[in-house]
Amino acid sequence: MLSQVAPLPAATAPFEVVLISPYELGRQPFALAEPAALLKREGFAVTCLDFSLQKLDPDILKNAGLVALYVGMHTATRIAVEALPHIGRLAPKAHLCVYGLYAPMNEALLRGLGVGTVLGGELELALVSLGQRLRANGRAVTQRGTTMTQSEPVISLGRIPFEVPDRSGLPKLSRYAHLVLPDGSARVAGFAEGSRGCKHLCRHCPVVPVYQGTFRIVPADVVMEDIRQQVREGATHISFGDPDFFNGPTHGLRLARALHDAFPEVTFDATIKIQHLIDHAKLLPELRRSGCLFITSAVEAVDDDILRLLAKNHTSRDFDRAVALTREAGIALAPTFVAFTPWTRLEGYIALLERLLELQLVESVPPVQLTIRLLVPKGSYLLKLPGFNEHLKAFDARLLGYPWEHPDPRVDQLQRGLQALVARCERQGRSRREVFAAVWRMAHEAAERPAPNVAGNLGSPIPRLSEPWYCCAEPTDQQLQSF
């Protein structure tokens, strides 16, 4: 008679984690790839989903124990808020987490939508910790409505050990935003982060409420290995997503040199403050020699009073100086603006347009930048500005911010008109100079002033990414159709 042998226990299925990026400026998201690497190292089964290129698939969610959405900017958060009810229905047993800059600022709203964990700052280890707790406790405690509470800090600013990001679960790099050169040719663009946080306290910046002046670097060897894997995927340009590449100028220059030494034909772009362009002007020629094509800089305004209220630490004429310095170094400057604030006057808006003409920057500015309205989210340092709250209405959960009206109704009317005009021109494929001319005419009409002809040197096209640089736009119907 054969002895009875106990059956071997069935293999335990790995705990499934789904990481979702609602929107990341058309870039392949580092903020999915980095936690994916850490979670996989700990034995989790990780699936990445990018709403900019993929739709919400019920099959992906049905066995998930943890679904985490990354909200690094306002538009992404708006999309996440719309998506969360759908995700909750498709993954009723999954614990919901939202992480990124805009998560702590919208904590109460997110928890009201069934989100159990909210994480900001240097959050990857907290995300792994959450997964480990869920895996150890089993699905019974992952169901929404249980007493399980968040033990990880909502904001963590401690240093974390970075892994080389795992981009294998993301759509192909060639499907993302690409570099467009002045001759119309295109290159595959990768995206890397060399640092996070910021040393500065600009009042309107979403980085400030979370990092509060803290700055963290990603080790150069990790950044370079991440770049190598993207070059293997076809990238010939790298867009550095650091809030400011010169928060640590030594680190930034080290990355630029390493990139050029390893891949002399690969170019890059970075974001650098006007103040830093002036303070570190001697470094600009080497950036150019290392392959820097253009620098994005948050100029925001050409009115010194507005710049002071925003705590930008540069003046209107510093903008002129930065343009001269970058041109001398052979690097294009791509300025961005908050064109409409409670302090913007019609004459001041026209002065902004006049400055772009004077500096021959019409071709350097995406038309959408001429329509941007100041966003005031929860936690904004603008709320600490004496008297500022007088401009605000009650917090609007749909807008994820405090609405405001300008004392001069003509300014708000102009902003709405320009927003519609620019959107219409973009659908029609109009050039930047054509759109600028239309904006110029509308602004002068609003101020009841004759509009001089737009003449002279408007500047030449500069290298740019195919996705316009802005983060506070209304989500499009196409974005909302991802789920």
Predicted confidence (pLDDT) per residue in 117-128, tens digit: 999 999 999 999
pLDDT band per the 50, 70, 90 thresholds, residue 138? confident
DSSP 214: -
Radius of gyration of the chain (CA): 24
pLDDT band per the 50, 70, 90 thresholds, residue 205? very high
Residue 106 main-chain phi, psi, to 5 deg: -120, 30
Pairing assessment for the beta strands 186-192 and 178-180 based on DSSP bridges: antiparallel
Residue 160 main-chain phi, psi, to 5 deg: -120, 150
pLDDT on residue 140: 40
Give the C-alpha separation, 72 to 355, whole Å.
31
Q: Where in the chain is the domain with CATH 3.80.30.20?
A: 178-466
Residue 114 main-chain phi, psi, to 5 deg: 95, 10
Spell out the alpha helix ranges (H) of 118-271.
124-137, 208-211, 220-232, 249-262
Check pLDDT > 50 for residue 1. no
Side-chain-side CA neighbours of residue 17 (13 Å):
29
CB-based contact 440:353 (threshold 8 Å): yes
Of 9, 14, 34, residue with least CA distance to 24? 34
Predicted confidence (pLDDT) per residue in 39-60, tens digit: 999 999 999 999 999 999 999 9
CB-based contact 382:376 (threshold 8 Å): yes
Predicted confidence (pLDDT) per residue in 409-459, tens digit: 999 999 999 999 999 999 999 999 999 999 999 999 999 999 999 988 899
Check pLDDT > 70 for residue 80. yes
Query: Can you name the CATH fold of 16-145?
Result: Rossmann fold (3.40.50)
Read off the pLDDT of each residue in 190-197 and give the average, rounded to a whole number.
Answer: 97
- What is the number of residues in the chain? 483
pTM listed for this prediction? 0.93
In sequence order, the β-bridge partners of residue 295 are 270, 333
CB-based contact 276:287 (threshold 8 Å): no
Residues 243-278 as b or e (16 or more Cβ within 10 Å = b): bbbbbbbebbbbbbebbbeebeebbbbbbbbbbbbe
pLDDT band per the 50, 70, 90 thresholds, residue 111? very high
Read off the pLDDT of each residue in 209-227 and give the average, rounded to a whole number.
Answer: 97
DSSP 23: -
Of 85, 86, 78, residue with least CA distance to 56? 86
Check pLDDT > 70 for residue 32. yes
Whether the CA torsion 467, 473, 476, 479 is positive or negative: it is positive
- Please provide the average confidence, as pLDDT, over all residues in the chain: 92
One CATH from 3.40.50.2000, 2.30.42.10, 3.80.30.20, 3.40.718.10 for 178-466: 3.80.30.20
DSSP 401: B
pLDDT band per the 50, 70, 90 thresholds, residue 470? low
Give the C-alpha separation, 326 to 277, whole Å.
8
pLDDT band per the 50, 70, 90 thresholds, residue 8? very low
Read off the pLDDT of each residue in 8-14 and give the average, rounded to a whole number.
Answer: 60
Which residue shows structure tokens 């150069």? 220
Predicted confidence (pLDDT) per residue in 381-408, tens digit: 999 999 999 989 999 999 999 999 999 9
Q: Where in the chain is the domain with CATH 3.40.50.280?
A: 16-145
pLDDT on residue 482: 59
What Å distances lie between residue 363 and 83, 188, 236, 423, CA to CA? 36, 22, 23, 17
| pLDDT-wise least confident of 132-146, 233-247, 256-270, 310-324 | 132-146
- The helices-and-strands tally (H runs, E runs) of the chain is 17, 15
